[in-house]
Amino acid sequence: MRKLKNEELDRLSVEDFKTASKIPICLILDDIRSMHNVGSTFRTSDAFLLEKIYLCGITAHPPHREIQKTALGATETVDWEYCEDIMQLVDRLKVDHLIVSVEQAEGSVSLENFQPEPETKYAFIFGNEVFGVKDEIVQQSDVCLEIPQFGTKHSLNISVSIGVVVWNYFLKVNK
């Protein structure tokens, strides 16, 4: 076994990425304080060919040096949009997306029980690192999705949560 060299990874060019078919997922980051979490979201979105990222509220957006440090160029490939008001965005996306808040909530669906439909577009919402997804957004969601946790914190970093949720979706839809 040996580690592959970068030129052996069959990476898409920026142009090929832009025209490639995307997985019908958009990620919504609302009031995210850490620019490293934002940059990591761009990298994960690039890795899985996700449709789009929406940055809402106080969430920083490109161009910014701190985002770029973690994104490693993914801000140039992944489609993104800044929307100050997440409520207006959710109302707009509800027309053709299933709205999924990733949050610990009454009546939430545990991630292992979540069965995404292959032809359905999803908008996964991730909230502030301390306060989570806003109550009014949770109430407007079609589904609340909860990542099972068993320790004392019951809290994962947003970039980790995004990776877990996207990978879970990818595994279930691409069986």
Residue 95 lies in a domain: yes
Res 6 pLDDT > 90: no
Cβ proximity of 66 and 90 under 8 Å: no
The answer to whether residue 90 sits within a structural domain is yes
Task: For residue range 128-140, list pLDDT tens digits in order.
Answer: 999 999 999 999 9
pLDDT tens-digit map of 89-114? 999 999 999 999 999 999 999 999 99
Inside any domain, residue 19: no
Q: Could you tell me if 42 and 75 are in contact, meaning their C-beta atoms sit under 8 angstroms apart?
A: yes
Domain span holding position 43: 27-173
Q: Say if 99 falls within a structural domain.
A: yes
CA distance 5 to 73: 19
Q: Does residue 17 lie within any of the structural domains?
A: no
Instruction: Give the CATH number, domain containing residue 103.
Output: 3.40.1280.10
- Judge whether 42 lies within some domain: yes
Tokens of 8: 């052996």
The answer for 132, left when phi > 0, alpha when psi is -120 to 50, beta otherwise, is left
- Residue 68 covered by a domain: yes
CA-closest candidate to residue 77, choices 47, 102, 40, 103: 47
The verdict on residue 8 lying in a domain is: no
pLDDT confidence tier of residue 119, bands split at 50, 70 and 90: confident
Specify the residue for token string 């032809």: 119
Total domains, the chain: 1
Say how far residue 115 (Cα) sits from the centre of its chain: 17
Residue that is written with structure tokens 């990542």 in the block: 147
* CA 123/CA 76 separation, integer angstroms: 21
Structure confidence by residue, pLDDT tens digits, 38-60: 999 999 999 999 999 999 999 99
